[in-house]
């Protein structure tokens, strides 16, 4: 009965958010323009980086396109789910409407993370998929079922890492209402995921693996998709994903304990 209730609730959540977004059809045009513009700009900059070169950090042009495609895909996911939901947490705290969420007989993290679905991220999702497919086909890497499967799993775990990081940062707003744009910082630094991690100087590479795990979001899944995935990295990524999901859950519980013992 419980999974059923969650499924029914999720359906209702998304129907109602689609309805409220459907009032703004102009957004679709603007969003498509933004995706096309951003994509054109990114490919242009990538071409500048490749001018006179045949590789960037050991990646060929087509392989780098796969990385850029995954970045676009994740950016679309961010616009669909992370941005519309997680940026509201701070408003809930500020305006006290978090109380309503906590009084519902449903998991509060579930509510806060999935309450809204913004269709405006979809152009990004589609563009990302097209770019990945193009890059894969042109790169000449043999397309194998198991590498696609592994790559897909790693993309999902990259998304999970991103979600956990973002959610935990948003949960900080329970203590520090004013630091809400910590999540914005996160979004701006994620731009680094547009390029393969090996293109960066060694010190930055370390940062992108351990501090801001951008590497797991685009580079590692791309390697797997291209059939060059290493089991070490894959295992590390999956471990990191499940670890960070658990950590975000634990952290939210901890934050709530603080909220419920201190809010007025």
Partner 1 sequence: MPPNTPMITARGLSKTFRVAEKQPGFQGTLRHLIRRRHRDVAAVSGVSFVIEAGEMVGFLGPNGAGKTTTLKMLSGLIHPTGGELSVAGFRPERRQRAFLEQITLVMGNKQQLIWDLPPLDSIRVNAAVYGIDAMETKRRISELADMLELGEELHRPVRKLSLGQRMKAELLASLLHRPRVLFLDEPTLGLDVTAQARVRDFLADYNRRFGATVLLTSHYMGDITALCERVLLIHQGQLFHDGELEALTSRLAPFRQVRLELQKAYPQAAFECYGTVESHQEHQVLLLVNRERLTETVAALLTRFPVVDLEVNDPPIEDLMRSLFSAAAVSDQA
Partner 2 sequence: MTRPRSRLLAASRIARILLSTQYAYMLEYRAEIALWALSGVLPLIMLGVWQGSGAARQLGWSAEHLQHYFVAAFVVRQFSVVWLIHVFEEDVLTGKLSPFLLQPLQPLWRYFAAHLAEQATRVPFVLLMLLGLAWINPDLLWRPTLAELGLGIAALWGAFLLRFLLQALTSMLCFWSERAAALDRLLVIPYLFLSGLVAPLDTFPPAIKAFALATPFPAMVDFPARILSGQSVNLSGGFFSLLIWCLLLGPLCWWSWVRGIRRYGAMGA
Query: Which residues sit at the interface with partner 1, rule CB under 8 A?
Result: 1, 5, 8-9, 11-13, 16, 19-20, 23, 95-97, 99-100, 102-106, 111, 257, 260-264
Residue 56, φ and ψ in degrees, nearest 5: -125, 110
Binding partner of 37, given partner 2, partner 1, none, CB within 5-8 angstroms per partner class: partner 2
Rounded Cα distance between 78 and 71, Å, is: 10
* Crossing angle for the helix pair 145-171 and 231-262, to the nearest 10 degrees: 20
Binding partner of 199, given partner 1, partner 2, none, CB within 5-8 angstroms per partner class: partner 2
Least separation in angstroms between residue 114's CB and partner 2 is 24
Q: Which residues of 71-94 are buried (b: 16+ CB within 10 A; e: fewer)?
A: bbbbbbbbbbbbbbbbbbbbebbe
Query: Which of 143, 256 has the CB closer to partner 1?
Result: 256
Query: Which of 188, 250 has the CB closer to partner 2?
Result: 188
Task: Strands of the chain (E only): list them.
Answer: none
Query: Which of 21, 62 has the CB closer to partner 1?
Result: 21
Least separation in angstroms between residue 39's CB and partner 2 is 10
Rounded Cα distance between 88 and 82, Å, is: 10
How many other CB atoms are found less than 10 A from the CB of residue 100? 10
Least separation in angstroms between residue 146's CB and partner 2 is 31
Rounded Cα distance between 55 and 67, Å, is: 13
Residue 119, φ and ψ in degrees, nearest 5: -70, -10
Least separation in angstroms between residue 22's CB and partner 2 is 14
Query: Which of 95, 181 has the CB closer to partner 1?
Result: 95
Binds partner 2 by CB under 8 A, chosen from 44, 100, 210, 254: 44
Binds partner 2 by CB under 8 A, chosen from 18, 149, 191, 206: 191
Query: Is 37 among the residues that bind partner 2 (CB under 8 A)?
Result: yes
């Amino acid at each position: 009965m419980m999974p059923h209730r969650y499924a029914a609730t999720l359906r209702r959540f998304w129907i109602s958010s689609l309805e409220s977004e459907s009032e703004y059809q102009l957004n679709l045009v603007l969003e498509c323009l933004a995706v096309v513009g951003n994509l054109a700009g990114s490919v242009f900059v990538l071409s500048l980086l490749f001018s006179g070169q045949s590789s960037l950090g050991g990646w060929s042009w087509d392989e780098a396109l796969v990385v850029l495609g995954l970045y676009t895909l994740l950016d679309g996911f961010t616009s669909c789910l992370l941005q519309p939901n997680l940026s509201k947490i701070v408003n809930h705290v500020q305006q006290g409407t978090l109380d309503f969420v906590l009084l519902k007989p449903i998991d509060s993290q579930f509510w806060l993370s999935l309450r809204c679905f913004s269709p405006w991220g979809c152009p990004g999702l589609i563009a990302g998929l097209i770019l990945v497919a193009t890059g894969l086909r042109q790169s000449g890497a043999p397309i194998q079922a198991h590498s696609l499967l592994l790559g897909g799993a790693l993309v999902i775990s990259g998304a999970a890492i991103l979600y956990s990081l973002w959610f935990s940062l948003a949960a900080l707003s329970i203590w520090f209402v004013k630091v809400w744009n910590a999540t914005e910082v996160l979004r701006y630094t994620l731009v680094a995921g547009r390029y393969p991690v090996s293109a960066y100087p060694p010190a930055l590479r370390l940062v992108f693996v351990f501090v801001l795990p951008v590497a797991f979001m685009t580079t590692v899944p791309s390697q797997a998709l291209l059939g060059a995935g290493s089991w070490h990295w894959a295992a590390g990524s999956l471990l990191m994903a499940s670890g960070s999901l658990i950590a975000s859950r634990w952290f939210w519980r901890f934050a709530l304990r603080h909220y419920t013992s201190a809010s007025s």
